[in-house]
A and B are shown apart, each in its own frame.
Chain A
Amino acid sequence: MNDHKFFTKKILTENPVLVMTAGICPAVAVTESASSGLLLGCGTLLVLFLSSLPATLMKNIIPEKAVCASHMIIIAAFTAVIQMIFYSWFPQVTEEVGIFIPLIAVNCIVIESVNGFARNNPVLPTLFNGLGTGTGFLLVLILMGIIRESMGEGTLFGYSLFAGDMTLMPFAVLLPGGFFLLSLLAALNKHINRKTRQKEKNMTNNDREEEKISS
């Protein structure tokens, strides 16, 4: 498999939130505003990418018994670094996101990607996998944040969209609204995946028929 396919695969066909249903808790809890979703998504992406690199580079050095602990230490260190950077650069949004930034360290997406994928694969696929997983998570968070904030509060990144205090669907900001939107996105993603798979199947069938005819 080409290395860049790990990236594209993790965004659509194996999206961590929509397909693997991992990291749902922060995805629903934080996406009340688009800026919070963007910040948490960026944080997760950075932690994933930065932690994957030492994990895959040192997979032959670390003894089997110390793998889990070492990976946890790497992830926790990068999470602490990202948290400090976010606190100094975007204090207000980081305050809004709150506990979910330190909780990146125990996010199952990050642990699976670093502890599961990085320890068994070479450098490039690991990096593409980390980038793809992080980007997939980030895209879902941004999309959910944009939809929930614009529908529920009538604002986007803090700027009001409609005149006055008009809101289209106040239900969207609440937790049930978040779960409802997440399920809708998952269904849409499944539909798109099925369509693309069908197209690929048809194309391979056509190619086989053409080969038969030509032979």
Chain B
Amino acid sequence: MKEKSFFDKYMVSLAVIICFFVVSAGVVFGTHKLLEYAALQKVVKEKERTEKIICRNSLLLLKQHVFFSENSKKAIKAAKEKEEQEKKKDKEKDKEKKDEDKKKEDNKEKDKDNE
């Protein structure tokens, strides 16, 4: 009877081992890719969340800016009105003073005429 060669003896075993090796490598590689994808998704989600927060914050800042600018416009307007009113008051006061001075001068002239 012819003796089996080394290849014939161990061919099936080797093939099985190689199959297991390839499948295991595939499982490990697949898991690695899956975990990588999950980590990437996590990063993307985190980025989106951060972007949302930044957008919300900048919107709030914009609203604040609008609010402050409107308020400052109002304040400027009120200050101008107040200034005008004060100017008017000053003018009236000046007028009153002039009138009083004129009256005083008239009285003095009258007194002098009487004398």
Contact = CB atoms under 8 A, between A and B. Distances in A.
A66 B31 contact: no
B20 interface: yes
Given A84-B31, A85-B35, A88-B39, A74 B24 contact: yes
Contact of A84 (B10, B13, B32): B32
A65 B10 contact: yes
A60 to B, nearest CB: 12
A66 B28 contact: no
A63 B12 CA distance: 8
B38 interface: yes
Interface in B18-47: 20-21, 23-25, 27-28, 31-32, 35, 38-39
27 contacts: A62-B16, A63-B12, A63-B13, A63-B16, A65-B13, A66-B12, A66-B13, A66-B14, A66-B17, A69-B20, A70-B16, A70-B20, A73-B17, A73-B20, A73-B24, A74-B20, A74-B24, A77-B23, A77-B24, A77-B25, A77-B28, A80-B31, A81-B27, A81-B31, A84-B28, A84-B31, A84-B32
B24 A76 contact: yes
A69 B39 CA distance: 33
Contacts, number: 44
A61 B20 CA distance: 12
A81 B17 CA distance: 19
Of B10, B12, B27, B31, the most chain A CB neighbours within 10 A belong to: B31
A61 B23 CA distance: 15
B103 to A, nearest CB: 91
B35 A88 contact: yes
For chain A, give the interface size range. Answer: 10 to 19
A133 B39 CA distance: 33
Of B20, B25, B38, the most chain A CB neighbours within 10 A belong to: B20
A96 to B, nearest CB: 20
Contact of A81 (B14, B20, B28, B39): B28
Interface string A51-86: 000000000011101100110011011001100110
Contacts of A63: 12-13, 16
A63 B16 CA distance: 8
A119 B14 CA distance: 19
Contacts of A61: 16
A80 B20 contact: no
B20 A88 contact: no
Contacts of B10: 65
B17 A69 contact: yes
